[in-house]
Amino acid sequence: MVASQAVPASAAGPLKNTTNRWVGSAVAAGPLADEADYRAVLTREFDSVTPENEMKWGVVEATRGQYDWSGADAIVSYAKRTGKSVRGHTLVWHSQLPDWVDDLEAGELRSTVKKHIKTTVSRFKGKIRAWDVVIEAFNEDGTRRETVFQQKLGDGYIAEAFRLAHAADPRAKLYINDYNIEGINPKSDAVYELVRSLKKKGVPIEGVGIQTHLALQYGFPTTMRENIERFARLGVDVAITEADVRIPQPTDAAKLEAQADFYEQAWDACHAVRRCVEFTTWGFTDRHSWVPGVFPGEDDACLFDEDLRPKPAYHRINP
């Protein structure tokens, strides 16, 4: 447990007070419960939270028929106490999936997905502002990812998932979500065409989540604003759902300034479009970042450092 300590606020005031959009962070139940300084910064700076792992199928039902809602319930209860919105994450995803799901035949898989969506969404009905219903359904070239859902249920599984989620909570905003769709490219083109098609069919899809996991060495996606605008023209909301900017190690002042440029450009691209309604980062402190465990040699992707001090990127979007 990290000792409680005072964490100075920005002179400009909390990040959540700088905009009329939701400003959020992914949250882990462990540090939320155990680290007073982590909790204090989260409470002060953000008005929306996304459970990092606690609502994923592999966590809530690792063993078939045995549910563990403890982490998800703790985050939702915290949000209620502190007046924050919750982004539900996620209902249908090929990763962090219980092993037993892969072994199901098509008919049983379809009924199991239906039960999972109904059970999860109904549990939090009225407490979730928006759900990431289906995430990461496409390959980089725009073809469908060959997930267990795609292989056994076919193209229609996405529309079906949205209809099921809407039936369980008609007031929650329902999103499709993916990474590497920040700019205009074959993958974002595929998401665009899917959303356009679903809207024409009356499927209750109401938003596109653009994850925005960026890295300095790959450059900033210069068509991000144009991409957000074209999704908005389809009549859906857009959300930046998992923003971070990885830095090749070692980190230095110049790289921190370059990181700040990336955050500012992403922030500005969202704020340039009325229907971009949310800017959420995937964690807010390098203390608990997912990056070094997944991308060896890269780190320091968040707005706050390990000691919860705001970095240049924070001050760039909250001057």
Distance (Å, whole) CA 68 – CA 57: 10
Residue 252 forms part of a structural domain:
yes
Residues marked as catalytic: 136, 242
Residue 66 belongs to some domain of the structure: yes
What would the pLDDT profile of 230-263 be if each residue is shown by its tens digit?
999 999 999 999 999 999 999 999 999 999 999 9
Residue 94 included in any domain: yes
Query: SS3 of 248, please?
Result: strand
Q: For the whole prediction, is pTM greater than 0.85?
A: yes
Per-residue pLDDT of the chain (319 residues; tens, 9 = 90+): 233 344 555 556 799 999 999 999 999 999 999 999 999 999 999 999 999 999 999 999 999 999 999 999 999 999 999 999 999 999 999 999 999 999 999 999 999 999 999 999 999 999 999 999 999 999 999 999 999 999 999 999 999 999 999 999 999 999 999 999 999 999 999 999 999 999 999 999 999 999 999 999 999 999 999 999 999 999 999 999 999 999 999 999 999 999 999 999 999 999 999 999 999 999 999 999 999 999 999 999 999 999 999 999 999 999 8
Residue 41 lies in a domain: yes
Q: 157: alpha, beta or left, given left = phi > 0 and alpha = psi -120 to 50?
A: alpha
> How many Å apart are CA 41 and CA 123, to the nearest integer?
28
For position 47, which CATH number holds? Answer: 3.20.20.80
| Torsion over CA: 180, 183, 189, 191 (sign) | positive
In a domain, 268, yes or no: yes
Give the range of the structural domain holding residue 30, as residue numbers without chain letter. 15-317
Q: β-strand 237-248 against 298-299: which pairing, if any? A: antiparallel
Residue 10 placed within a domain:
no
> Any idea which residue has 């092993």 for tokens?
99
258, part of any domain = yes
* Number of domains observed in the structure of the chain: 1
DSSP string, 11-76: TT--GGGG-SSEEEEEE-HHHHHH-HHHHHHHHHH-SEEEESSTTSHHHHTSBTTB---HHHHHHH
- CA dist 73 and 128 (Å) reads 12
CA–CA distances in Å: residue 293 to residues 210, 289, 290: 22, 8, 6
Structure confidence by residue, pLDDT tens digits, 72-107: 999 999 999 999 999 999 999 999 999 999 999 999
Asked if the structure places residue 9 within a domain, the reply is no
Question: Considering only CA atoms, which of 92, 108, 88, 90 is closest in space to residue 100?
Answer: 108
